[in-house]
A and B are shown apart, each in its own frame.
Chain A
Amino acid sequence: MSATAQRFLTVCSVAAALACPGAALAQATIKVGVLHSLSGTMAISETTLKDTILMLVDQQNKKGGLLGKKLEAVVVDPASNWPLFAEKASQLLEKDKVAVVFGCWTSVSRKSVLPVFEKDNGLLFYPVQYEGEESSKNVIYTGAAPNQQAIPAVDYLMKEVGVKRWVLEGTDYVYPRTTNKILEAYLKAKGVKAEDISINYTPFGHADWQGRVAAIKKFGSAGKKTAVVSTINGDANVPFYKELGNQKVSAEDIPVVAFSVGEEELSGVDTKPLVGHLAAWNYFESINTPANKAFINQWHAYIKNAKRTTNDPMEAHYIGFNLWVKAVEKAQSTDVEKVLAALPGLEVPNLTGGVAKVLPNHHITKPVYLGEVRADGQFDVVWKSNGTTPGDAWSDFLPGSKDIEADWVTLKCGNYNTKTKVCSGQSYK
């Protein structure tokens, strides 16, 4: 049996064991919900995050638990099925009465559980870089907002690499579309002409990239330095990079900077044709700090496989989990209202030597790194931000969102319009 299958069985048996004597244990434990797809298309990425939380829960219990109680992970499988995310979320909140949920990857799954968390007043830690334009009372966003990933990456290419022409290549769904809208507005504000920006979308799982790569090549042959900003998501990346290699588009001529390609995605891919292409993240496994080394060792010991990689969303969960533990200790309670009140202003160290601080807009401060792909599937950091960047929920570069502010401490609102002075109730209040 393969390792994954075995792990799956262990998880099932653990879940079963937890479900049966649940009633007896309920008083003595604090329940931690884990809402990540363990099957379907997103399983590749999300299974790792489930394991990360299980590891962190395990470690916390070894340290004696929290508030004198043991932590108990409740794992559910929303199966990469967006409506099922909402169903499983309400099961976690209403039936299992978990104190906190760590979960979701795609923006569409987050949007699907948002009404549930707001109705049941739950607490969700969301660990993935996303498109911004959102701030919910019940969500702590531990992944990067566009100003902590996309904007610095474009800045780097513009200033350090001298890129003059831009291809914004994305998968056709909400995250790439919103990010590209922000980037387009940003580039235009920086004086890039409309004819020097090409935006294109392909469906999920797009496999035939020859036409697109030929078009990129042609766009890049106009004599100006060209770069591709890729928000291509999931396994469509593999044939994309393969085709780049086949058509001899090297990173030295037309670098591709990706926002959704990390160590986990590159493991199991032949990375030699990808060498030199870039990725922007807030964490890389290759960053050499004592905290990171310790985390990687713990991960290898826990997962019993020294070849497994760590990645950015895992670090986000590490930060999120520690923030929650700290907030619970500060509030001396797992009550969502009290924890939410305790969270803003809390600081925990991240894995790369900086500090993650919860901001009033429920985002956190993060350092920004740009890495070049190495032949072994890891990244060499070629640029890092000065200190950390605070996450901005509402982009300053979109006309509809630059006047909107999120502040859950003084304004008690996720989308306060500074011009009309109303908490507009846009999308969710």
Chain B
Amino acid sequence: MLGTELQVERKRLLDRPDRHGHPSGRGARQHRERWRSSLLLAALLFAPPALAQSRDDGFLAALGELREASFLDKERVVERLSQTGHPSTRAVITAFLEDRLYVRARDQQIFIVKSTDDTLTSFALVDPVSLQDAGSGRRDDLTKIGTNNRLRKLLRTTIARFDLSSPNPAVKLAAIQEMLRGLDQESIALLRERVGVETDAAVKEEIQTGLALAALDGNDPRARLEAVATLAHRLRPQVRNRLAGVLEKAADGTFVEPDEKVRQAAAAAVRGIDRSRALYAGVETLFFGLSVGSVLVLVATGLAITFGVMGVINMAHGELMMLGAYTTYVVQLALPNHIGASILVAIPAAFLVAGLAGVIVERTVIRFLYGRPLETLLATFGVSLVLQQSVRSLFSANNRSVETPAWMSGTLQLNDALAITLNRLYIVIFTLIVFAILLVVLKRTRLGLYIRAVSQNRAMAQAMGIRTEWVDAMTFGLGSGIAGIAGVALSQFTNVGPNLGQAYIIDSFMVVVFGGVGNLWGTLVGGMSMGVVNQLLEPYAGAVLAKIFVLVALILFIQRWPRGLFPQTGRAAESQ
């Protein structure tokens, strides 16, 4: 066959020692094999049916070996599969990566499975060679062909090579980034091929990064200098480490990089990259702090109303948050196919559930104890235990898992050095929205007017015809409802269990007291600054000590300014 002859010729050419004088290594071998596969591909176009048949056989034979192979053997099989140039290779390798490659016990045949959803008892099968539907098979008749970390990495790289010619720029970009994680000769050759025809700017930039990384190994000092100049503007850790590698000394004391100019340029580039990365690390820490702060503000806002405005020490505040978190869980159970929407439904649901619980607690317990803080404290502590135990009996003591919707997971990659996790970003935004709505309610609505009136002068408000009892219940319900909303947020990044509330009750009180009792803005500023200080200290002091520092600082602060950051002023405050 023509293909075979050409292949032999190529082989001879490529078996020469490579540029560095080493005998032809792995890179060259892969290169050669790639040639072979593309030749096979070319041959395919003119192939008689018999050739296609034999290629199918080879593909199937390689595939068949997956049944019994060890993980290491599977890696070799994958390489062989990708060399066959068979048109179904990509589909098979993708299925393998996604755990959708199965062996049927009955006849040891290998199939791709369309979906492996937990609810299915039988799988829809696809023939791996023809990619045609092949009926279905019972779940217990099929055994998955497993992968491990190394194998998955290889599969990903293999798929990336296929994706390089995808029409979608985003796919291409992801493929190149995947290849950059471990650059080998074959990938470099592919990138070199792409660079001329690529039109998308972002993709082209990534290709140039890859080629520049490869060029650092080249013989031409000018090309290396150019490569350093290209890489100086990339913030990727791989780039930084590669450039730092240029500055290293070999074992015999000579520099790895012989050219002084290249070394100087690389040193400057590393300094520049380090500076930018440090800057972005600072931004990241600040964001972490704000997100921790947002959680604190969210859990404390409800308390700022019940404790700050009404003066009720509500030890069951944490349990109201827990109710909100469990509401999220129940809503998710009720809408198993709409996880993304369920969280939006859960917000009003949690507000109502926790708010209603709050109103009931206020009507049945707290209203008899106004003006007796110690008794309120004990009674609400009792309420918290009752709530915890009822949840334990209802849902069991085990934690429940609340799924994070797809639109909330993942990161927002701002650049190579800065990525912001989406769920945290949403928390910050969500907190600000809740806070704004609450401000509007308190400042702009009739209920808000009543609440402020009653909290400032109960007797006068009563004289003006306000039903103060009703206002008390509504205020407490509002604070509790917001605690429920905080529970929805908490369910996204902490464990939903009966003890959820206890972890946050202390923090909530701290924020309210620090910010200034009765002042919502104080809660916002107090919570945010506590979050930021905590995150700034954590890398140096560790999580445990950072918490202690914050607590000690807070105690000292309260000693000096007992009314907190934003003390209430005026006659109402003085009389308290």
A→B interface (CB under 8 Å): 1-5, 39, 41, 43-44, 161, 172, 200-203, 205-208, 210-212, 214-215, 218, 221-223, 235, 238-239, 242-243, 245-248, 251-253, 255, 268-270, 276, 372, 374-376, 380, 382
Contacts and interface: CB of A to CB of B under 8 A. Distances in A.
B71 A382 contact: yes
Contacts of A5: 393, 396
Given A207-B493, A207-B495, A276-B148, A4 B398 contact: yes
B543 A245 contact: no
A269 to B, nearest CB: 5
B447 interface: no
A268 B538 contact: no
Interface residues of B, number: 56
Contacts of B547: 203
Contacts of B397: 4, 39, 43-44
A202 B543 contact: yes
B170 interface: no
Contacts of B399: 44, 235, 238, 268
B337 to A, nearest CB: 16
Given A2-B396, A3-B396, A239 B542 contact: no
6 contacts: A205-B503, A208-B292, A210-B291, A211-B535, A235-B399, A268-B399
B98 to A, nearest CB: 9
A215 B284 CA distance: 11
Given A211-B535, A223-B238, A246-B421, A200 B542 contact: yes
A214 B284 contact: yes
Given A208-B292, A221-B241, 13 more contacts: A2-B393, A41-B499, A161-B149, A200-B542, A201-B544, A207-B495, A210-B291, A214-B284, A218-B281, A239-B495, A268-B400, A270-B404, A276-B152
B403 interface: yes
Contacts of B544: 172, 201-203
B39 to A, nearest CB: 32
A211 B539 contact: yes
Contacts of B396: 2-5
A251 B153 CA distance: 10
Contacts of A243: 421, 493
A242 B493 contact: yes
Interface string B160-184: 0000000000000000000001000
Nearest to B413: A248
Interface string B88-109: 0000000000010000000000
Contacts of B149: 161, 251-252, 255, 276, 372
Contact of A203 (B238, B409, B423, B543): B543
Interface of B: 71, 99, 118, 146, 148-150, 152-153, 156, 181, 237-238, 241-242, 244-245, 281, 284-285, 288, 291-292, 295, 393-401, 403-404, 409-411, 419, 421-424, 493-495, 497, 499, 503, 535, 538-539, 542-544, 547
A269 B284 contact: no
Contact of A246 (B285, B394, B423, B542): B423
A215 B241 contact: no
A5 B391 CA distance: 11
Nearest to B154: A252
A222 B404 CA distance: 31
A235 B498 CA distance: 12
Q: Which 4 A-B pairs have the closest CB atoms?
A: A223-B241, A221-B237, A4-B396, A207-B494
Nearest to A7: B396
B411 A247 contact: yes
Contacts of B285: 211, 214
Contacts of A242: 404, 493
Nearest to B493: A239
A166 to B, nearest CB: 17
Contacts of A246: 409-411, 421-423
Contacts of B393: 1-2, 5
A254 to B, nearest CB: 10
Contacts of B495: 205, 207, 235, 238-239
B394 A2 contact: yes
B405 to A, nearest CB: 11
A251 B148 CA distance: 10
Contacts of B403: 270
A319 B493 CA distance: 38
Given A1-B393, A208-B292, A248 B284 contact: no
Nearest to A215: B539
A296 to B, nearest CB: 15
Contacts of B394: 2
Contact of A268 (B241, B401, B421): B401
B300 to A, nearest CB: 15
A252 B543 contact: no
Contacts of A3: 396
B539 A380 contact: no
A171 to B, nearest CB: 10
Contacts of A218: 281
Contacts of B295: 208
Nearest to A234: B495
B502 to A, nearest CB: 9
A200 B544 CA distance: 10
A212 B396 CA distance: 31
A335 B25 CA distance: 69
Max chain A C-beta neighbours (<10 A), residue from B288, B419, B495: B495
Contacts of B288: 210-211, 214
A253 B182 CA distance: 11
Max chain B C-beta neighbours (<10 A), residue from A41, A172, A242, A245: A242
A380 B146 contact: yes
B288 to A, nearest CB: 5
B291 to A, nearest CB: 7
B297 to A, nearest CB: 14
B145 to A, nearest CB: 11
Contacts of A221: 237, 241
Contacts of A247: 411, 419, 421
B543 A206 contact: yes
Nearest to B291: A210
Nearest to B495: A235
B219 to A, nearest CB: 24
A208 to B, nearest CB: 6
A238 B494 CA distance: 8
B146 A374 contact: yes
Contacts of A372: 148-149
Nearest to B497: A235
B497 A2 contact: no
A291 B538 CA distance: 48
A162 to B, nearest CB: 10
A216 to B, nearest CB: 12
A222 B398 contact: no
A202 B419 CA distance: 24
Contact of B398 (A44, A200, A223): A44
A268 B493 contact: no
B9 to A, nearest CB: 38
Contacts of A210: 288, 291-292, 421, 424
Contacts of B152: 252, 276
Contacts of A222: 237, 241
A45 to B, nearest CB: 10
A384 to B, nearest CB: 12
A380 B148 contact: yes
Nearest to A248: B411
Given A1-B393, A268-B401, A252 B281 contact: no
A251 B150 CA distance: 10
Contacts of A376: 118
A14 to B, nearest CB: 19
Contacts of A268: 398-401
Nearest to B295: A208
A222 B244 CA distance: 10
Contacts of A1: 393
A374 B145 CA distance: 12
A225 B237 CA distance: 13
